[in-house]
Amino acid sequence: MIDFPETYAAIDVPEGAVVRSGGTDLQERLRSHNAQPRIVDLTGVQGFAGIDRSPDRVHIGGGTTMAVVARELAATHPALAIATGSLATPQIRAQGTIAGNLTQHTRCWYYRHPDTDCFKSGGDSCPARTGRHLYGVVFDRSECVHPHPSTIAMALLCYDTTIVLADGSTRPIDEVLGDGTDPTRDHQLAHGEVIAAIELTPGWADERGAYFRSISRFEAEWPLVEAVARARFDDDRVAECALALGGVATVPLRMAAAEQVLTGSTLDDASIRAAAEVCAEGATPLPETGYKVELIVATVIETLERLRAA
Ligand SMILES: Cc1cc2nc3c(=O)[nH]c(=O)nc-3n(C[C@H](O)[C@H](O)[C@H](O)COP(=O)(O)OP(=O)(O)OC[C@H]3O[C@@H](n4cnc5c(N)ncnc54)[C@H](O)[C@@H]3O)c2cc1C
Ligand code: SF4
C-alpha cells in the first residue's frame, strides 16, 4: 500500500510504514525483504524539492535530487557539491535525494541479507564483528562495525547545517547523526520524523572545496575511505577550514585536530602530511581493517592537495 500526501501536514507514517523519497535505497531493501511494504511516498509533497536562497541561508528541500545539489551548489558550496557529484552513479544521483541519502540504511552485507539478524535489524549480535568485516570501521566505537553509508552526511558536517523536519522543528546535523555508539541506529530520527529540508549558511567568500574517495573500483561502489575539505584563504594562508572523514566509523567524523594543524598554514606538503597523520591517530582497527589506517593518511593527503589546487 502506498500513500501520497500532498502537504507536510498530511504526512502520517503509521507504525510499520516507511517513507520514500527517491526510492533507490528503499526499493533495494524491499526486494531483499529488508523493509516494510507499506510506503508513504513524499515526492508529491509541496515544496519538498528545490533550492531557495536568501542572504543568510540556503534552503535545500529534502526531495531535491543529488544531481541538482551537485550542480546548483558548485559555485557557493564546492566541497558539498563535489562530494555529492562523486557518489554512486549518474542514474542514482538523478533519482536519489539529499534526505534519502542522509537516512539510507547501512550497506553492511549481513544487514542486507534477508536471512541474517543483527543489532540493526532487531537482533542482539553483530555477525560482522565475529565474521567478515573487510569494509568495516577503523575507529571502533560501537557494537556495530560497519561505517555510516552517507557521503553527504560527511560533507554536511563541514558546514553549519540545520535539518528541518516536516513538523517545522529543527536539529543540527550532528544531533541527527548521533555519536555512532548505538548499534541499532543509522541516525537519531524517531519513527515518523521526516526530513523536509536541509539549511546551510551561505558559503565563505572565495571558498575552495575538495573531495576524494579511495575505492576498490572506479564507480558504483561505496568508498573504503573518503574525505572532504573546505577552506577560506587570507593571502596564501588558510584562514578557516573544515575537514571530515567517511568510511571509517559508524558516523562520519569531523577532524578538528587536523583543522588546527592546517589553519594558518599555506597548505604546504609538510602541513598536509601532518594533518593527514593526525587524522589516523587513535585508530582502533578490526582484524580485517588495519589497511584503512594507511588509507586514511593517503586519502586526506590527496584531498588536501586537491584543495590546494582548487
Ligand atoms: C551502486 C551504488 C553506489 C552508491 N554509492 C554511494 C556512495 O558512495 N555514497 C553515498 O552516500 N551513497 C551511495 N549510494 C546510495 C545512494 O546515494 C542512496 O541510495 C540514495 O542517496 C538514497 O536516496 P533516496 O532518495 O533514493 O532514498 P530512499 O530510498 O527513498 O530512502 C532511503 C531511506 O531513507 C528514508 N527516508 C527517505 N526520505 C526521508 C525523509 N525525507 N525523511 C526521513 N527519512 C527518509 C527511507 O524511509 C529509507 O529508509 C549508492 C547507491 C548505489 C546503488
Ligand atoms: S556491522 Fe552493524 S549492520 Fe553489520 S551485522 Fe554488525 S550490527 Fe549489523
Does residue 18 have a pLDDT over 70? Answer: yes
pLDDT of residue 1: 85
pLDDT (mean) for 254-281: 98
Of the listed ranges 18-32, 51-65, 252-266, 291-305, the one predicted with least confidence? 18-32
Query: What's residue 68's pLDDT?
Result: 98
Structural domain contains residue 44 = yes
pLDDT of residue 136: 97
From residue 235, alpha-carbon distances to 76, 264, 309 in Å are 20, 10, 15
Q: In this model, does residue 34 exceed pLDDT 70? A: no
Contact indicator for 97, 65 with CB cutoff of 8 Å? yes
Same domain, 42 and 81: yes
- Ligand 1 proximal residues by C-beta, below 6 Å: 18-26, 42, 62, 87-89, 92, 96-97, 99-101, 103-105, 149-152, 189, 194-195, 220, 222-223
In angstroms, the CA 235 to CA 296 distance is 29
Whole-number mean pLDDT of the chain? 95
- Which of 48, 88, 90 minimizes the C-alpha distance to 71? 90
Does residue 93 register a pLDDT over 90?
yes
Residue where one domain finishes, among candidates 200, 227, 250:
200
pLDDT-derived band at 32 (thresholds 50, 70, 90) equals: confident
The domain that contains 196 carries what CATH number? 3.30.465.10
State whether 234 and 195 are in the same domain: no
Q: Which of 143, 177, 200 finishes a domain?
A: 200
Side-chain-facing half-sphere of 240: CA atoms under 13 Å: 8
Contact between residue 266 and residue 233 where contact means Cβ atoms under 8 Å apart? no
Query: Which pLDDT value is given to residue 216?
Result: 87
Going by pLDDT thresholds of 50, 70 and 90, the confidence category of residue 154 is very high
Q: Which residues pair with 3 in a beta bridge?
A: 40
The edge-to-edge listing of strands for the beta sheet with 57-61 is 51-54, 57-61, 195-200, 161-165, 170-172
Are 195 and 223 found together in one domain? no
Residues 13, 74: one domain? Answer: yes
Give the residue-averaged pLDDT of 271-294.
98
What's the pLDDT score for residue 282? 97
Distances (CA, A) of 8 to 4, 52, 197, 198: 11, 18, 11, 15
Residues 242 and 132 both lie in one domain: no
Statement: residue 156 has pLDDT above 80: yes
18 and 164 assigned to the same domain: yes
Q: Which atom of ligand 1 is nearest to the CA of 150?
A: 11
* Nearest listed ligand to the Cα of residue 130: 2
- At position 107, the amino acid (one-letter code) is R
How many structural domains compose the chain? 2
- The strand pair at 51-54 and 170-172 is best described as unpaired
Q: How high is the pLDDT of residue 275? A: 98
**What integer is the mean pLDDT of 47-59?**
96
Domain range holding 183?
2-116+128-200
Q: Which residues line ligand 2 (CB under 6 A)?
A: 106, 108, 110-111, 118-120, 126-128, 144-146, 183
Predicted local confidence at residue 36, as pLDDT: 66
pLDDT at residue 35 in the model: 64
Give distance in angstroms: CA of 12 to centre of ligand 1. 21
Read off the C-alpha cell for 108.
553492511
Contact criterion met (CB below 8 Å) for 62 and 212: no
